[in-house]
Amino acid sequence: MNKNLVVGAGFSGAVIANLIAAKTDESVLIIDKKEHIAGNCYDYRDKNGIMIHKYGSHIFHTNSEIIWSYLKQFTDFNTYMHKVIAIVDGIEANIPFNFNTLYEVFPVSVAAKLEEKLLERFKYNTKVPVLEFLKQDDEDLKFLANYIYEKVFLHYTTKQWGVKPEDVDGAVTARVPVYLSRDNRYFQDKYQGIPLEGYTRVVEKMLDNKNIKISLSTDYKDIDASGFDRIFYTGSIDEFYNYKFGELPYRSVNFKFEEYNKPYYQSNACVNYPCNYDFTRIHEYKYYLDDKSDKTVIAKEYSEAFVNGKNERYYPIQSDTNTALYNKYYELNNSDNKVHFLGRLGDYKYYNMDQAILRSIELFEKVYHK
């Protein structure tokens, strides 16, 4: 009998399965409803030789030596550093909004005046959340704050979350700040890049252990979990408890893939459309590993409400009300410590990849080294 059941073969599940199998020599059964491993990080090479991220662009970045060292067991990374372009008044401009963006969208005289005032008010190389940046008393800076809010933030956030920015949790809105810098990188982490053989290959190597058995296209509800000593559950906690207190709300995403008979479709891997069209952004995948092909593949990303049975959960909608609902579910699990929840859905948290990996590492240490 397998001692451990891991539900979900994305990074959260794969890391905990790998650690259990490698460090304790205990058996693990890992299951997933999907027909493939790697969860939403799943990627594959298409007929054109382009590495496609099926569920949207995934850029690995971290400041943690622990996480970087752990992942380096399974892959090497390229030196890709992610940059994002947004179409602002028809101009390709750097995002987050920084000093370079200032000169891209405004005449030099206006940009220089605003830059001088910004440096009088804020320290160079600092980040200010957009909603905080709106609290200006200087007329010129108030103009700039309103411009950024309207042209970069408001409509994009409304499309992405289905509500106005003021109604989105502050931890989420803070992810898109005004950056008082000339650094065009989207992330400033010490370690950044794309796995050279893709994310799916990373997870394959994690799960390549004699103690691990994998069962895909398998739903937790369809198996008998009573014989396992421990269950590590990365699915949605409300589903685990059969929606006893109601559903936790999520946003979902739909990707429309298009192939073109030309080397490139756009000038950058990721281009945001804050004020135009119904999609939020366009991904062009060949940039990530510098794939060579006469053709290119893009994906237009459409945000939408999660509807159970229709689409997939992507982003927890964090708020005090939703956190309280999550806590009601979590408090049901205080009997024998047999079930452990983790991942974006299990913890109901907006994790980056490195945060999800660290959560699994820390949970392993907690469970096995009490």
Q: Tell me the pairing of strands 212-215 and 28-31.
A: parallel
Higher pLDDT among residues 355 and 165, named by residue: 355
**Which of the 8 DSSP states describes residue 247?**
P
pLDDT at res. 164: 76
Residue 231's alpha-carbon distances to 212, 224, 266, 291, in angstroms, are 14, 12, 45, 40
Other Cβ atoms within 10 Å of 314 Cβ, number: 19
pLDDT at res. 204: 98
Q: Angle CA(345)–CA(165)–CA(236) in degrees, nearest 5?
A: 10
Which of 102-111, 131-140, 234-243, 275-284 has the lowest average pLDDT? 131-140
pLDDT band, residue 163 (cuts 50/70/90)? confident
Indicate whether 358 pLDDT > 80. Answer: yes
* Percent share of the chain, pLDDT over 70: 97
pLDDT at res. 170: 65
What average pLDDT does the chain have? Answer: 94
pLDDT band, residue 171 (cuts 50/70/90)? low
Mean pLDDT, rounded, for 313-330: 94
With the C-alpha atoms ordered 317, 220, 239, 237, is the resulting torsion angle positive or negative?
Answer: negative
Mean pLDDT, rounded, for 248-259: 97
Cα-only R_g, the chain = 22
Closest Cα partner for 180 from 122, 264, 114? 122
Mean pLDDT, rounded, for 141-162: 92
Count of residues for the chain?
370
pLDDT band, residue 70 (cuts 50/70/90)? very high
Q: In this structure, what token pair is assigned to residue 288?
A: 């990530």
pLDDT at res. 322: 94
pLDDT at res. 134: 87
Indicate whether 167 pLDDT > 80. Answer: no
pLDDT at res. 335: 62
**DSSP bridge pairs for 339:** 231
Mean pLDDT, rounded, for 8-32: 97
**Which of the 8 DSSP states describes residue 181?**
S
pLDDT at res. 174: 61
Indicate whether 2 pLDDT > 70. Answer: no
Domains defined for the chain, CATH in brackets: 4-80+191-247+317-368 (3.40.50.720), 84-179 (no CATH)
Indicate whether 1 pLDDT > 90. Answer: no
**Most distant pair of Cα atoms in the chain: their distance:** 73
* Percent share of the chain, pLDDT over 90: 88
pLDDT digit string (tens) for 220-236? 999 999 899 999 999 99
pLDDT digit string (tens) for 106-149? 999 999 999 999 999 999 999 998 888 889 899 999 999 999 99
Other Cβ atoms within 10 Å of 331 Cβ, number: 8
Which SS3 state, helix, strand or coil, does residue 303 take?
A: strand
Indicate whether 20 pLDDT > 70. Answer: yes
pLDDT at res. 64: 98
